[in-house]
Amino acid sequence: MLKKILIANRGEIAVRIIRTARRLGVRTVAVVSEADRGAPFASMADEVVEIGAGPASESYLRGDRIIAAARQSGAEGIHPGYGFLAENADFAEAVGRDGIKFIGPSPDAMRRMGGKAEAKAIAAKAGVPVVPGYAGDSQGPKALAREAQRIGYPVMIKAVAGGGGRGMRLVEHAAGFAAALESAQREAKAAFGDARILLEKVIDRPRHIEVQVFGDAHGNVVHLFERDCSLQRRNQKVIEEAPAPGMSPELRARITEAAVACARAVGYEGAGTVEFLVERGMLSAQSPWYFIEMNTRLQVEHPVTEAITGLDLVEWQLRVASGERLPLDQAQIKMSGHAIEARLNAEDPASGFLPSMGPIVVFETPSQDGLRVDSGVAAGSVISPFYDSMIAKLIAHGADRPQAIARLAQGLEETVVAGPKTNAAFLHALITHPAFRRGEMDTGLIGRELSALAPARFDARAVGAGVVRMLVGDTNSSAGGRPSPWGAKDAFQLSGPRVERRTVLVDGAAMQVEVRWTPHGPAAALVGDHPPSPTGAARMLRVVGDGNPVYVLCDMRQTVLGWPTFDAAGSEDAGDGSTVRAPIIGRVAKVFVAQGDTVAKGDRIAVVEAMKMEHVLHAGRAGRIDKLAVKEGDQVTLGALIAALVEA
């Protein structure tokens, strides 16, 4: 067994690896960026080496610095986790040249199966069906547009060198192909250092099924059954489960055998995942299915496989990297119960899933039977724009699928995150959706049901509770901390109940509330026409903070409340689309206009990149660019001016 390993990653996967390494008596070295100083994973490791500034390109993507840190610390192996350099064959090769063990497949296997084009050719040669498409060397816009026309729309653009939904675009019609291609190539280059793409025919209502495989240096390859990853948004997985609901024994046998054949074809060593699409949402023995790619690393969703098999996949990785044989053969690997994983992200579903950044004020997760929480943050951690938005993974395991769903729903209801907004309510709505409960889903389910799963409204119950907390914080200390009209800073009356109106900021928008003073303290209610709140008591209502602002968690949705202050910077925005502002903290990846240009309503102005996602900003009206406030590469804050327009 390796004695000391360096973890070339961060966050929850670094925590996950450290826990297993500690149990096995393996010492760990964490590499950290300036932004991750003091992060939970850094404090858990036996040693810490700082490798650069916050942006991944200056730290976690700097293979030379990571290898130098391994040499400096005396690490015998490097575990890449997932993301960053995990599927970079050049990095794996450089690690080996330094006499350090790369805890993963060989560079050759990584190149052959990590590149989607060659992987499809290998799968086809092994007799595995592949998705029709184009994976050739011609990468010019005109050549690719011709191939897309030949395949037939809709088509999917995919980055050759990576996964995780980055560098991937769905194109419905030929008119949108050029812009989608440019965006996909730019994102692929930024994420993987390789702008090459391939094209695939879009499969009708597919189920996304993946098979966990494992190989060793002695020629042994096994599978650990399948996972269903069909619930996706923007090609990013949201919910994963194992086994796949409704999977027929015949289809399971064919798909798992195909996965093992693909791994054997390249002499695969370590953990890997072979991914397939199954047509029309059914997993019957007759359903058409296709190989799409292989991920040559551990997957984010590996805990559901661990839950149903009772195995520790990181332990298997360390044993295989140490030259040992696989701990079990195929006949010894059994499946028990059902497991579901939900990715809790710092994002706001009601605002188009924009990333939500900033410090975590409160973070609490429940302790309950059958629930595992993998996280890389704690109260006081800061969600930054440099990395992905994941806060935690909640993994529920039960004797059957209904029990796993019930445990996961309870876990989401009892999880508390204050500060950044999260997708907890969205996840809860998704796993309690009738179609999900029935196991009737495909990769388009979230898109079809998005308005119901992520309603763009706030909860009036949260506003009332938050205003009362702010009023309590405003009371005179001579009142013993209890709300009192004598502590208020406005006029009062001696007869009858006192009622006042106040302006409050609800998620940044000014609204009127009516405050009624009672013998038991103030009660507050929104004034005006607002969407109705759910009736009855909330499953969970929690107010965090005593002053301005306060964070109110009501049925897993966060509302931020505060008293208004005048901001002179906002006076230049008339609210008529004459300014374009950054919707998130991030980096300006692309600017499409120059000062003085004339634009039409809807024209692209710029792209702001954060948390590995691109956000295209469009002109809200026609006009002339009077002021261009940014250039490519600039870092911008939330609400920062990008461009100002005047009449043409």
Q: Check which CATH number belongs to the domain holding 188 and give it.
A: 3.30.1490.20
- Is residue 476 over pLDDT 50? no
Q: Assign 192 a pLDDT band (cuts: 50, 70, 90).
A: confident
Q: Assign 489 a pLDDT band (cuts: 50, 70, 90).
A: very low
Q: Say what the pLDDT of residue 520 is.
A: 81
Residue 494 placed within a domain: yes
Q: Among residues 538, 562, 586, which one ends one of the domains?
A: 562
Residue 455 placed within a domain: no
Say how far apart CA 135 and CA 277 lie, in whole Å: 18
Q: Are 215 and 272 in contact (CB under 8 A)?
A: yes
Tokens 């699928």, located at residue: 401
pLDDT in tens, 228-259: 999 999 889 999 999 999 999 999 999 999 99
My answer on whether 197 and 214 are in the same domain is no
My answer on whether 373 and 352 are in the same domain is yes
My answer on whether 363 and 418 are in the same domain is yes
CA nearest neighbour of 276 among 427, 400, 119: 119
DSSP-derived secondary structure letter, 444: T
Residue 556 placed within a domain: yes
- Is residue 585 over pLDDT 80? no
Q: What does the block give as tokens for 255? A: 């798909």
Cβ contacts of 61-69, under 8 Å, gap ≥ 24: 61/85, 63/88, 63/90, 63/91, 63/94, 64/94, 65/31, 66/6, 66/8, 66/31, 66/91, 67/94, 67/95, 67/98, 67/100, 69/6, 69/29, 69/31
Query: Is the link from the previous residue into 129 a cis peptide, with omega within 30 of 0?
Result: no
My answer on whether 255 and 113 are in the same domain is yes
Say how far apart CA 193 and CA 500 lie, in whole Å: 59
Q: Say what the pLDDT of residue 488 is.
A: 53
My answer on whether 464 and 556 are in the same domain is yes
What is the average per-residue pLDDT within 8-15? 97
Residue 357 placed within a domain: yes
Mapped onto helix, strand or coil, the DSSP state of residue 81 is coil
Q: What does the block give as tokens for 277? A: 């699409």
- Is residue 184 over pLDDT 50? yes
Q: Assign 592 a pLDDT band (cuts: 50, 70, 90).
A: very high
Residue 400 placed within a domain: yes
My answer on whether 97 and 180 are in the same domain is no
Say how far apart CA 601 and CA 341 lie, in whole Å: 41
My answer on whether 342 and 413 are in the same domain is yes
Averaged pLDDT of the chain: 91
Q: Say what the pLDDT of residue 648 is.
A: 84
Q: Are 301 and 227 in contact (CB under 8 A)?
A: yes
Q: Check which CATH number belongs to the domain holding 330 and give it.
A: 3.30.470.20
What lies within 8 Å, CB to CB, of 332 at 6+ separation is: none
My answer on whether 285 and 218 are in the same domain is yes
Q: What does the block give as tokens for 141? A: 């816009």
**DSSP state letters, 131-143:** --EE--S--SHHH
Residue 454 placed within a domain: no
Q: Among residues 429, 449, 469, which one ends one of the domains?
A: 449
- Is residue 99 over pLDDT 80? yes
Say how far apart CA 577 and CA 643 lie, in whole Å: 10
Domain enclosing residue 394, as ranges: 337-449
pLDDT in tens, 401-455: 999 999 999 999 999 999 999 999 999 999 999 999 999 999 999 999 998 898 8
Query: Of all helices (H) and strands (E), which one includes residue 623?
Result: strand 623-628
Say how far apart CA 40 and CA 10 lie, in whole Å: 9
My answer on whether 498 and 602 are in the same domain is no
Which positions are catalytic?
A: 297
Q: Are 211 and 268 in contact (CB under 8 A)?
A: no
My answer on whether 197 and 226 are in the same domain is no
Tokens 């507050």, located at residue: 524
Domain count, the chain: 6
Type of residue numbered 364:
E
Q: Is 429 left (phi over 0), alpha (psi -120 to 50) or beta?
A: alpha
pTM of this structure: 0.84
Estimate the share of the chain in helix, then strand, then coil, as percent rounded to the nearest 5: 30, 30, 40
Q: Are 251 and 284 in contact (CB under 8 A)?
A: yes
Q: Say what the pLDDT of residue 477 is.
A: 37
Mapped onto helix, strand or coil, the DSSP state of residue 455 is coil
Q: Check which CATH number belongs to the domain holding 640 and give it.
A: 2.40.50.100
What is the average per-residue pLDDT within 80-96? 96
Mapped onto helix, strand or coil, the DSSP state of residue 541 is strand
Residue 47 placed within a domain: yes
My answer on whether 80 and 141 are in the same domain is no
What are the DSSP E strand ranges found in 528-612?
541-544, 550-554, 557-562, 579-581, 586-591, 598-599, 604-610
Residue 635 placed within a domain: yes
Interstrand relation of 521-526 and 586-591 (parallel, antiparallel or unpaired)? unpaired
My answer on whether 213 and 318 are in the same domain is yes
Q: Among residues 449, 483, 518, which one ends one of the domains?
A: 449
Mapped onto helix, strand or coil, the DSSP state of residue 572 is helix
Mapped onto helix, strand or coil, the DSSP state of residue 165 is coil
Q: Are 46 and 28 in contact (CB under 8 A)?
A: yes
DSSP-derived secondary structure letter, 65: H
